Amino acid sequence: MDFVTLEDVLDRALPGNEVEVPEWGGKVEVRAITSSELDRVQRLATARSGELNGAKANVIMTILGCVEPRFALVHLDKLMRQPPGPFVRISSAIMELSGMEGEEEEDLGEA
């Protein structure tokens, strides 16, 4: 296997996929999130006590990684009042596309 170049890394497009969401009556289009977006998820979903709110992290990851429909952080409060199942499924797909597995996935999946 050859060494990658800086251009190979910087010019790489974020992978995407579709996720079935039967609870919503269809599917959504998602993409991988960036490292800065992951940092944003963790900062916004961490309470003052330092504890990560897994349900909130799943919703924020969905907001940031969902291409269609296009959510925004202004929707956070209303989305947090929805059942968690779709957000767990969607955020899991986003984490998989982003190359995250194991403990990180478990931490963000807890409610």
87 in a structural domain: yes
Note the pLDDT of residue 105: 46
Q: Look at residues 54, 44, 56 and name the one whose alpha carbon lies nearest to residue 111.
A: 54
The structure's pTM equals 0.86
Note the pLDDT of residue 108: 55
How is residue 81 annotated by DSSP?
A: T
Amino acid at 7: E
24 in a structural domain: yes
Identify whether the C-beta of residue 24 lies closer than 8 Å to the C-beta of residue 86. yes
Q: How many domains does the chain have?
A: 1
**Token duo for residue 3:** 């060494």
Note the pLDDT of residue 102: 61
Note the pLDDT of residue 94: 97
Q: Which residues of the chain have pLDDT under 70?
A: 102-111
5 in a structural domain: no
100: containing domain: 14-109
44 in a structural domain: yes
4 in a structural domain: no
Helices (H) and strands (E) in the chain, counts: 6, 3
Note the pLDDT of residue 11: 86
Note the pLDDT of residue 8: 87
41 in a structural domain: yes
The CATH number linked to 41 is 3.30.2220.20
102 in a structural domain: yes
